[in-house]
Structure formats: C-alpha cells, structure tokens
Structure 1
Amino acid sequence: MRASSKIEYLQVSGLLYFFFFAFSSSFSLFSIWIHKAIGLNGAETGMVFAANTIAAMLILPFYGVLQDRLGMSKKLLVWIGVLLCCTAPFCIYVYSWLLATNLVLGVVVGAAFLGFAMLAGAGLIESYTERLSRHMGFEFGKARLWGSLGWASATGVVGVMFSINPNIMFYMSTGSGIIFLLILFRMDLGKYCDSTSQAAKAFANPVRMKDFWVLMTLPRFWAFGLFMTGVCGIYAVYDQQFPVYFSSFYPNPEDGIRAYGYLNSSQVFVEALCMLFAPWLISRIGAKNGLILTGTIMFVRILGSGVAVDVWVIASCKMLHALEVPILLVSAFKYIAGNFDPRLSATLYLVGFQAAQSLTAMFLAPVAGYGYDHIGFSSVYVLMAGVVGVCLLISCLTLRSQSSRTPCSTVPDHAPSPPATTAIV
C-alpha cells in the first residue's frame, strides 16, 4: 500500500467499524426485541423478517446499479450515514409503536427504513470498500475485519444494555452513525478518480444498461445466484431467529439473552481474526472451493443446531459462523473478480450475493416462523439442512472454477476475454 493511502485506508476501516457497530447494536438482538419487547409470536416475527428481506431485495439492485454508475462518489454513503443517525428516534418512537398498534403498517414502514439504512447498506459499503481496495492497493479482508470488530464490540455490551433498557441499543446505533458521518466528511477520494493505475483503467469505461442485461444472460451468473439462494439464503433464514432458539436452552430467558450477547461477541472477534487469514486460504484453494467450503460449514451448523441437546453443542454451532463469514466474503469477491466485469462489481455483489439471499428469505421466513411455532426449531433446522445439502451438491457441479484465462467480462463464455485486472485480495 502506498504511504499516501494509509490515511484513507484507516478512514475506510473506521467507516466499516462504526457502520457495523451501528448495525450490530440494532440487529444482534433484533429477534428477541420483537419477541420479548414488542410481544410478537413466531409467525408475526417471521412476517417482519420477510418484509425486511423483501425491502432489501428491492433496494439492493437499486444501490448496486446506482453505485456502479457513481463510481467512487460518496453520495450513497452519506445517505446511509444520515439514516443511521435517525435509528433511535425512528425505532423507539415510530417503529415500536406501529408494530404494537398496526402490525402491517409497522412491518412495511420498518422494512423500508431498515432496508435502506442497514440491510442493503451493509452490502453497499462492502462493495464500495472492495472497489476502493483496487485503487489503494490494500487487501479487502484487512479492511473488512474492522467491520467484524465493530460488530463484536457492539454485541459485547448490547446484551447487558438490553437487560437494562432495550432502547439503549438503538441509541448506540445513532451515536455510531454520527461518528460514521464525521469520518466520511473527512475523506477526500478525488485523487483516486484520476488514478492511472491498472485497477482504475478497469473502471474507466462508463457502465451502460446494456452491460447489466448482458450480465443477466450469463449461465455463470445464475449458477452463482443458485448457490447464494439455495445455500446462503436458507442459512440466513436459519440465523434470523437463532437467538430465540439459543435463549430457550436457559431456564431464565434473561440469562439466555445475556449469554448470547457474550457468545456473539466472542464469535465475531474470532471472525475478525479469521478475516486476516481468509485471503491466504482462498488464494490457495480457489474461489469456487472456498464457496463450497463455506456451504459445507453452513450445512454442518444448521444440522448441528437441529440435533443439539444442550447449550454447549448449540454454542459450538454458533462459533462455526466465525469461520464461515470470512471465507464466504473473500470467496465471493474473488469469484466475482475472476468471472465477471469488475465495473459491475457492486451490482454483482448486491444482486448476485445479497439480493439472492433476500429472495430466499422473502419466501421462507414466514414458513420457517410457522414451523417454529408448530413443530419446533429443531425439526425445522433439520429440514433446512436437507435442502441446503441438496443445493450444495448442485453448486459443486455448476459453479465455475478459475480457468487459465481470467473471464472478467460480461461477454459470453465463447468470446475472447479482455486482459486480466488486479485481483481483489
């Protein structure tokens, strides 16, 4: 990394830290807040999560296309920062009241706010960081680990704060949003827009709508989407109400909530450590094998949760998440860089990665919530593991291994490829 880029690298790391601190403050115990503080049952909670994922799925393509056209502009990040600052007043005085008095309206309004601010915002910031890493010459994983640390820092205290007053977690998000904006306003990225580096040249040609339509015709795009939908999407639904399931292993739910906060914090700190080594691992096994490894970890965790008989087993399953997240993120960006046009990286990540998961959650979350209420968490988890296992086997055949050439454009597979671009990590 150039010495002149170190300040910008630290600023980007700060953005990731405080965004995920805000995200974690509101969402680490979100399902418990809905279940305990608001009083919604499993099916109603599933409806909330389904609406959230629908909103995220609709917003993600918009964010992706717009950011690809804006390039290095910070305008969308400013928008997200403003929304983060509004988290406490919205959730405390608007969202909670609507959920208690008019569930449907509360679900719709809350999904729109949370979708723009956090659920879709997380993918946007990650894709923006990946694009910036091409210009600055740093590894994406080294910056993204600060996001994991931010999440862990929040979960380390949010469990205790929730026991005191659930509203504190939303004030934590607002405070973090203010710091996020202050860092963002200090960043000056104008010099990278005029960079003559190879990474900058890869983004030189303007993005046209035709490029997006051509992307949608590529079989490898849909193969990638299948993995994200059938494996990662189901895993995301599994993880939504996992805190409720975990706390049920304790005689006193308050003790379960507090224990989950400590466990979640420990998991994310380990995740941050693994983020340092994930680029090294993926560079040796390849992006496709990294995705398959991630899917295997997800399968083991879901199935293990379904057959768990005590809190130590379920806690061990939770810690597997620390291995899965770094491998998935690095593998996904590596796979995108090696198989698609780098100018469309934001769209590919937000649509092929994030929105594909949201599509699954949109349909599955209400069904899962109904299943939790009627047949129990364990039985639903075993069924989920079966579906994930089948989709994982299909992905082993359909995902594309890195070839000798670098297929980083949206042209068909039989057409000549452009010169390789700078790798992500």
Structure 2
Amino acid sequence: MNNLKKASFWNFGGMYFFYFMIWALVLTFLPYWLKNQGHLNTGDSGLVFSTMALTALILEPIYGVIQDKLGLKKYLFAFVVLCLLFVGPFVQFAFIPLLNINPIFGAAVGGAFLSLCLNGGVGVVESYIERSSRANKFEYGHVRLFGSLAGGTAAFIGGIMFVRNPYSIFWASTCSAIILGLLLWMVRIKKLDYQKDERVKDESEYVNKDNILKVFKKKSFWGLCLLIIGSACMYDVFDQQFPNYFASFFTHKSAGESFFSKVASVQTFLEAGFMVIAPWFVNKVGAKKGLILYGIILFIRVLGSAFFTDIWMLTVWRLMASLEMPLMLVSIMKYITGVFDLRLSATVYMLGFNFAKQVGVTIFSTVMGKLYTNIGFHNSYIFLSIFIIVMVAIGAFLMENDKTANQTQNIKVKKVIKPL
C-alpha cells in the first residue's frame, strides 16, 4: 500500500494506462477494420501482423541495446510516443489508399508503421518502466495493472466507437499519445542502487558486444526463447483471428462483435484484479514456474476452443486469459532480473522475450492464416495446442531455476569495477 503514497507510482501507472489504451484500441479492433474497411481476407490480414512482427524483429535488438545504454534516460521512449501521435492521421489518410494501390504493399507498409510503436515499441515501454520501478522502490506488477485497466476500458468503449465510426479508435489513440507524452515529460529520473556505487561501471560502458554475447552462451536464454515462442507468441497468434471465430457463432456478425468487445472488457478488468496478487504468487512459486503455468493455461484455452464451441464456453476460454497475462507479465520480468545481469535487462527482454516472440509471430501469423482458410479453425487450434505444449516443455527443461540464480544475482553487478 506504500505504493499509493508515491507520486511516481501514479505517474508511471498513468503512462501504462494511456500506452495500453492505444495498444488495446488498435490491436483489438484491427482484425475487424482490416476485414470490413480494408476488405482483406484472412491471408492478407495475416500479412499485416507478420509485417508488424518482422519489423519488430529488426527493431528489438536495436531498441534493447540503446535502452540499456541509456539506462533511465527517456529519449527512446519519447521516440515511441512521437510515432504513436501519427496513428490517427496514418490510418485515416494513408492506409486505405495504400491498400487500394496494392493490398500486399499496403498491408506491408501499414504493418511496418504500426510496429514502430506497438510490436517494437512495447518492449521499450515495458523495460523502461520495469527498470524505473526498481529505482523508485515499487512492485512492477502493481503498476502494470494500469495497463490491464486500460485494456478493459478500451475494449468496452472501443466496441461502441468502432460500430459508430471505425476510424475513431485510431484518433482516440492519437489523443492518448498526447497525454502519454505529457506524463513522460513529468517523469523525474532516479538512480538504481548499483548506479549509486561509484566503483561500478555504468550502462554505457558495460553494454558492449562481449557482454551481450555472454547472454547467448547461457542455456537459460535459449530455453526462455523456446518457452516464449510456445506461449507468449502463440497467445498473440491465437488472439489475432479469435474475434472473427467468436463472432461466427452468432446469427448476426455485428451482434457477435459487440458481445465480444464486452467479454474482452470483462477479461481485462479481471486481469487487473489478478495482477494485484500476481507478484505475491510469483514470488512464492518462482518466476520459472509462473511461466510454465502460463503456458499450460494457454494450452487448455486453445484446445478447449477447438472442442467446446458453445458461446458460453468460448466466453470462458476467453476469460481464462485474465489469468495468463498477469502470470506472464510478472514472471518474465522477475525471471530476467533474477537470472541475468541487471544492466542488460532491456537487451535480454527485447531479445529473449520480444525478439523470440516476434520470430514466432512472423512465421505463424501467415501460417495460421492459411490454415484457417484451408482446414478451418477447429483443426488449426488442435495443431496450435500441440505446438504450445511441446515448446513449453522443451523450454522449461533448459531454463535455470530463478530462485537458485537469484541468490547470487544481487552481487553480480559489483564484480565489474572501474580501474583505479
């Protein structure tokens, strides 16, 4: 409860709220917009998401190294906000004309632009605020719940806005970006504990090729990558076309779209509630077990969506995501800071989580789009669920236990001393 007394906690909470307001508005309704306004089939829609992921693949290593070198300086975050400001104008005045010129070209350009501030930019936001939470002495998972509240709010109002004017959600994103920029400007930078020790090399010195290459020599890094491809990546791939699958069980598609927006809103508010207790739970069982549990729940949700397709059961499967996200978001950050060097936290997060995730999304968005068209959702979901459980099992086998690694992590950064 001490968090509530800190102005910085509310400042970062507001930043999370308005960033994920944009995230939820755009990504929740983008499949509908691409289909109804862009007139794209599932294969071409998959190309948009694949391009977003491919662009993020290029950005993530660059973003990660830059942010680790910057430490808590906010220049890169400001660049992401600048890109967000142009979401409304881009979709209103450029996206449809580009799709009219050529659907594939338009999908590629649109996906690349959106990735600058969403698929690619989210890593900057997450890693910056996680590092800031350690500097300001509050629990990352608690400030992250503002993102879940934003998702619920956006899903609820977004459904109403989209029915009235499909372009309004993108202009609302631009307005949210203005507020986000003001909140970022208000942030007052603090130092992390190890930064206060004059003997310890700062980020700009420590973040170099040799130390980054050491990350790739750790078995835990590759295990984390495989687990993320099988879980967080497949979570995104599964959710890309699930709104259309859900709506197909209604007599009138508009009724299905409206109902789904309400279900998504409830899910994200439940997610915010679970986010409150997620840090306590993950601290209790360990971050590695939290990630494994996340993958198991996703496996159950995907397989259940293939076989139990009554509307009320599909609603249950969607609501189960409210358990997954708190587990994943808290566990991934705690695992990285518990097993890897703290000064490389952004690089490891960008590569081990976002980069690995986008590799999978780049490949499987198009693959699953084709499978949906050729063999239907039922068989596609069976294939997806098998892939999930296999990848989670292999990744978990390779990953080091974070509770064991954390016993020595707190003194690692003090081993690198500036020469006298």
TM range (shorter): over 0.9
Q: Distance in 2 between matches of 1:248 and 1:398?
A: 40
CA deviations on 1:138-160 (whole Å, 9 max, x unpaired) are 00011100011112111111111
Q: Which amino acid aligns with 1:318?
A: R
The offset of 1:101, in angstroms, is: 2.4
Q: Which residue does the alignment assign to 2:338?
A: 338
Greater mean alpha carbon deviation, residues 269-278 or residues 395-404: 395-404
Q: Which residue does the alignment assign to 1:232?
A: 232
Q: Which residue does the alignment assign to 2:327?
A: 327
- For the Cα contact (< 8 Å) 1:134–1:200, is it kept in 2? no
Q: Describe how 1:294-313 pairs up with structure 2 within 5 A.
A: 294-313=294-313
Alpha-carbon spacing, 1:136–1:312, altered in 2? closer, same or farther (3 Å)? same
User: Is residue 176 of structure 1 aligned with residue 176 of structure 2?
Assistant: yes
- For the Cα contact (< 8 Å) 1:203–1:343, is it kept in 2? no
CA deviations on 1:370-409 (whole Å, 9 max, x unpaired) are 1111211111011100111212222332222135453777
Q: Distance in 2 between matches of 1:380 and 1:236?
A: 15
Q: Which residue does the alignment assign to 2:257?
A: 257
The offset of 1:3, in angstroms, is: 8.8
Q: Which amino acid aligns with 2:337?
A: A
User: Is residue 31 of structure 1 aligned with residue 31 of structure 2?
Assistant: yes
| 2:118 counterpart SS class | helix
Q: Distance in 1 between matches of 2:73 and 2:10?
A: 18
- Structure that is richer in helix per residue: 2
Q: Distance in 1 between matches of 2:163 and 2:347?
A: 40
Q: Which amino acid aligns with 1:173?
A: S
Q: Distance in 1 between matches of 2:3 and 2:13?
A: 16
Q: Which amino acid aligns with 1:204?
A: D
CA deviations on 1:319-373 (whole Å, 9 max, x unpaired) are 1110000001111111111110111111111110111111011111111111111
Q: Which residue does the alignment assign to 1:204?
A: 202
Q: Distance in 1 between matches of 2:2 and 2:364?
A: 46
Q: Which amino acid aligns with 2:254?
A: E
Q: Which amino acid aligns with 1:178?
A: I
- For the Cα contact (< 8 Å) 1:2–1:137, is it kept in 2? no
Q: Distance in 2 between matches of 1:361 and 1:407?
A: 34
Q: Which consecutive residues of structure 1, in runs of 5 or more, have no partner in the other structure?
A: 410-415, 421-425
Q: Distance in 1 between matches of 2:48 and 2:376?
A: 19
Q: Which residue does the alignment assign to 2:106?
A: 106
Q: Which residue does the alignment assign to 1:126?
A: 126
Q: Which residue does the alignment assign to 1:187?
A: 187
User: Is residue 281 of structure 1 aligned with residue 277 of structure 2?
Assistant: no
Q: CA RMSD in A?
A: 2.1
CA deviations on 1:32-63 (whole Å, 9 max, x unpaired) are 11112211111111111111111112111111
The offset of 1:419, in angstroms, is: 6.6
Q: Which residue does the alignment assign to 2:392?
A: 392
The offset of 1:108, in angstroms, is: 2.5
- TM-score with structure 2 length normalisation? 0.93
CA deviations on 1:52-87 (whole Å, 9 max, x unpaired) are 111112111111111001111111111111111111
Q: How much identity, in percent, do the aligned residues show?
A: 33
Q: Distance in 2 between matches of 1:150 and 1:179?
A: 14
Q: Which amino acid aligns with 1:373?
A: T
Q: Which residue does the alignment assign to 2:271?
A: 271
- For the Cα contact (< 8 Å) 2:44–2:104, is it kept in 1? no
- For the Cα contact (< 8 Å) 1:230–1:387, is it kept in 2? yes
Q: Which residue does the alignment assign to 1:142?
A: 142
- TM-score with structure 1 length normalisation? 0.92
Q: Which residue does the alignment assign to 1:401?
A: 401
Alpha-carbon spacing, 1:255–1:68, altered in 2? closer, same or farther (3 Å)? same
- For the Cα contact (< 8 Å) 2:306–2:377, is it kept in 1? yes
Aligned residues: 410
Alpha-carbon spacing, 1:167–1:417, altered in 2? closer, same or farther (3 Å)? closer
Q: Distance in 1 between matches of 2:4 and 2:266?
A: 34
Q: Distance in 2 between matches of 1:305 and 1:44?
A: 24
Q: Distance in 2 between matches of 1:418 and 1:176?
A: 38
The offset of 1:102, in angstroms, is: 1.6
Q: Which residue does the alignment assign to 1:358?
A: 358
Q: Which amino acid aligns with 1:246?
A: F
| 2:37 counterpart SS class | helix
Q: Distance in 2 between matches of 1:12 and 1:375?
A: 45
Q: Which residue does the alignment assign to 2:418?
A: none
4+ residue runs of structure 1 moved beyond 6 angstroms?
1-5
| 1:375 counterpart SS class | helix
Q: Which amino acid aligns with 2:54?
A: I
Q: Which amino acid aligns with 2:153?
A: S
Q: Which amino acid aligns with 1:283?
A: N
Alpha-carbon spacing, 1:152–1:203, altered in 2? closer, same or farther (3 Å)? farther
The offset of 1:232, in angstroms, is: 2.5
Greater mean alpha carbon deviation, residues 48-57 or residues 314-323: 48-57
Q: Distance in 2 between matches of 1:313 and 1:393?
A: 27
